[in-house]
Structure 1
Amino acid sequence: ARIDEAVEEFAAAVNDYSVRALGDAVTDLARYGNEYIQRNEPWKLVDEEPAEAERVIYDCVALAKAIAVLFEPLAPEKSERLWAQLGEPGTVHEATVEAAREGPTGDLSEPTELFEQVEDERVEDLNEKLEARVAESEDGDGDESDDDGGEADGSAADENDDDTDDTDMTDIEPLSDDRISFDDFQELDIRVGRIEAAEGIEGADDLVKLTVDLGAETRTIVAGLKQLHDVSDLPDTKVIVLANMEKAELFGVESNGMVLAAGEEADLLTTYEDAGPGTKVK
């Protein structure tokens, strides 16, 4: 039952395009697994109640398998290692969400740690850097306030305009300080596409199955547009597609690419000149 709840939370996160919610669904399931094994203590049952010990261990392995499946979109390498340790056939990258509900079928191998422990010194160092950055940001805000205070000749209308601008900016995420190289950007295969067909996906509130012409080929792409766009209006729309996005299976449909959109309303990125399907964005 707990695995079923996690699968439902995972599906809701995918529908909402929420990476945070998807991660929470997996970590909550892992937390439950930790509590479950600590509460039942199978190592104490092996001699007195071997059948009960076997059941508890089986449940724990089933939880681990579900975590491998649901965590794959966020941590594909770690999920593949866990899948292999569980002795499951094939690769976790080809497993569907329904595999999370299926019991374990493989033979366990010798487990190894998937994640290295972060030492306390490293945590303290990161906290100090974070605190310094926060303090620097607050100092910068204070300097701006002082500068604004020295300009006493502004009109009330100007002040109102400033307030409006500040309000509008509160919903904008700050620009990332993390930079990528030009070579990294070149590895992104971003293309102009044209939607040829669009239809809703049964059981998915927000997802739409798109058939997209990318010039050299036509692909199926799943996008969370159903609640934000009239599906019947999507055909013939030119869109921008990340063509070398890893494939993913959502509600039984394989998505081969990602349609790019801006903001909570999924404002579709497009082109307004003559660039045809397959044109590379660079």
Structure 2
Amino acid sequence: MSNTPLLVTCGLPYTNGPCHIGHLRTYVPADFFVRHKRHCGEEVVFICGSDNHGTPIVISAESEGITPREMSERYNDHFDITFKKMGIEFNRFGMTDDPENHRMTKEIVQNLINNGHIYKKIISQSYCPHCEMFLPDRYVEGTCPYCGEKARGDECDQGCGKHLEPGELKDTVCKICGAKAELRDQEHYFFRLGDFNEFLQDYLPNLKGTSNARNYAAGWVKEGLHDWCITRTLNWGVKFPGNEELVVYVWVDAPIGYISFTKEWADLTGGDWERFWKGDSSVIHFIGQDIIYHHCVFWPAILKGSGFMPPEAVVASGMVKIEDKKFSKSRGYVVWTNEDYLDLGLSPDYLRYYLLSYTSHTKELNFSWKEYQARVNNELVDTIGNFFYRTMHFTSKKLGEIPQLNPDKEILDEISGTISEVSRYVSEYEFKSAIEAIMALGNYGNTYIQTNAPWKLIKEDKDAANQVIRNCLQIVKALTILLDSVIPEKAQKAWELLGFTDKVKDREISDALTGFESVKLLAPEIIFKKIEDEDVEKYEQTLNMRVNEAKLKENSKVIDNTRKEEENMITIDEFAKVELKTATIIEAEPIEGSKKLLKIQVDLGDEKRQIVSGIAQFYNYEELAGEEVVVVTNLKPAKLFGVESNGMILAAGEEAALLTTKLKVAPGTKIL
């Protein structure tokens, strides 16, 4: 047992959609860790909350006609309730949009400003001329400049995973209207991440937790750190100190939520929040693999730069697959925690067990309904359930009470060895190995009762049978305490059947080696029930139906796009209506008030024309005279910036390469 208090946090769920099994990959192991540490007598505060800011919430709220706050409150309640149903018990579950986090964020950002770690700079940022607005992260998408994959505003989420600064994306489009975005200058604020290069080089090798978090972060530092733009052009979020037109980047105020929620917990309980963030305690973050950079590089630097202690450990989980397919909500490969599981009456403990026992915490977890069924039936039902029921049923029916004997030393040694093994694995974040150690004790119990056969022994030697059962009951008690961290609902039921009236979660691990407080057991019950084949078929059908619906939607999109392409196609007769002629530019001059447009006079052989063209950014107007170009001559006249235009000069590409002919031809020559 450590005298150092622990603060354990989980990555904050984002409040623009419901809880799915991918979320639980982080929260269930964290809850298991916390429960076990408390059984071991350690002081642990467990903190989480919802992440309420950023563009996706604004987009989702706008689509529903509600405010971002209303959407955030809805999903904050949803996650809070869902986690409780799953037996995940936080000391505080807050919201990053609550007043305390606004205040704490502004205070920390101001500290960083005062300490010289934040500066302002004018940058080029994506702007949609159609929507007449700057485009924050999730309002813009384009091509990653590093790997060429499709990416969103602040992260290459489909490719290399790199963090992207505003203006880095290529070929950007506005996600609101689909129009091509352009770059415009705007003042923003930057965090000098490079100031912390030496600190991080010393910090990361000593960072505890899982090796994937430590090694991944060290790789980023080795590549070189770039300053982070920490402001966005949004109305929704924490206002930047001294500039109310900007909000703080969500990856600043979201992790600060860990501190804010700790303070809220302290205010409610009389605790000392600074003890955890400025004192001698240990902060442990449980996160998903996709946010390692933010928690192991960016976050420690913010804490260091503002006078707080960086985390002692970061525990990063592997990703999730569904039936051997990459987890994808859009493609239907998703299991929703409520709709597909809890609402069907399935045990939260069964899912907790699967998530903890399937694979190492850092490896990819595959959720399969058949594998789920096999683990529940073969391990929880046949191993633990069978041993519990056989032991308690024999005690109740044949003996009438718990034998007033001490367990054999062999039994206590086996339990002590299991406790030591489990505690070591939990401290090493090897949760699968910890579960295997617990199950090994269950297998030991089954083998012991089967080998000693008290139902036969009682006919020959009742005292010996009593000793066997007493030993088995000690193993049941030990397993119940150990399993509380894994399957708390079932463990509490078993605890009560053993005659205890308190909460098993409040017991210390050492109680696994002590006796019973009552000689009477409750009437034995079957605690674990099998998952039937027909039920698994139904669950698989639901998943398959969702996948097929997603495919139909995708096919529908393809058909719609094909139809649009066909609608955009023209016949040869329609094309013949377009009159294309060669022309020679006589002169060009800028149009007052416009940075893009030029007023150009062209020679079409038999006439002179005035045409307004948007090529001012690419050509020196004084050097255009004499250039041979191709002109659409039968367009209806139009006025641009008050200047009449009678035609269109054709150009190609983003740099407006003027179209011309390979051989010299006379002005006015028709293009066939």
TM-score bin, normalised by smaller chain: 0.3 to 0.5
Higher RCO (CA-CA < 8 Å; seq separation 6+): 1
User: What is the TM-score with the length of structure 1 in the denominator?
Assistant: 0.43
Which has the larger Rg?
2
More strand as a share of residues: 2
With the length of structure 2 as denominator, give the TM-score of the two structures. 0.19
